[in-house]
Amino acid sequence: MDKDTLDGRKIAILATDGFEQSELLQPRKLLDEAGARTVVVSPGDKQQIKGWNHGEWGEPVAVDLHLGDARAADYDALVLPGGVINPDKLRLHDDAIDFVRDFGRSGRPVAAICHGPWTLINAGLAKGRHLTSWPSLRIDLENAGAHWEDREVIVDGNLITSRKPDDIPAFTRALIHMLEERQAQAA
């Protein structure tokens, strides 16, 4: 991947304790390598959040910006890592749901993997959309009006969804491709 592909595009990664470690760290690394500037945004006032890795607590990750200080309009895209704990906690924060909703309504890319699409339901972004996720979310997404499919990655408008850590390369490529297309259209 060319280091200047994303030319400093600013990407928010919304997460809290219990994010699936690989679903935050690997996309972040790939996006940074493509020239993006990733920013970990989290509710509360913690200086770091802790990942979940193969059934145990994983590495801490520094919080770059507290959610109360973040504005969706300041970013080119949003990444929502999964893990069961992380999106379930985020769904209880009105400001997190508002942040996700603001991205969805603006038309800027929202990329959610694994259990990350749970927040799309609460933000009112799932109805009528073609999505994928970790299989246990299928009924939740269908009950919210989404059309669920078991695929590596699904792009529907500004939404990008994937199922699991094995899908991270395709998930990240889809986000990079969408950002490149938008960059080309703006030029």
- In a domain, residue 151? The reply is yes
Domain harbouring 42, CATH code: 3.40.50.880
CA distances 79 to 26, 94, 134, 143, 175, Å, are 12, 18, 16, 23, 9
Residue 1 within any structural domain of the chain: no
Indicate whether 2 pLDDT > 60. no
Report yes or no on 34 lying in a domain.
Answer: yes
Q: Give a yes or no: residue 111 inside a domain.
A: yes
Of 54, 93, 114, 177, the active-site residue reads 114
Please indicate whether residue 115 is annotated as part of the active site: yes
Question: pTM of the predicted model, to two decimals?
Answer: 0.97
Does 158 reside within a domain?
yes
54 is catalytic: no
Q: Is the pLDDT of residue 4 over 70?
A: no
Of these residues, 66, 115, 147, 177, which one is catalytic?
115
Mean pLDDT of the chain: 96
Task: Let me know if residue 187 belongs to a domain.
Answer: no
Total domains present in the chain: 1
Residue among 121, 107, 25 at smallest CA distance from 131: 121
Phi, psi (degrees; rounded to nearest 5) at 124: 75, 25
Taking residues 118-134, what's their average pLDDT? Answer: 98
Domain of residue 160 covers: 10-182
Evaluate whether residue 3 is within a structural domain.
no
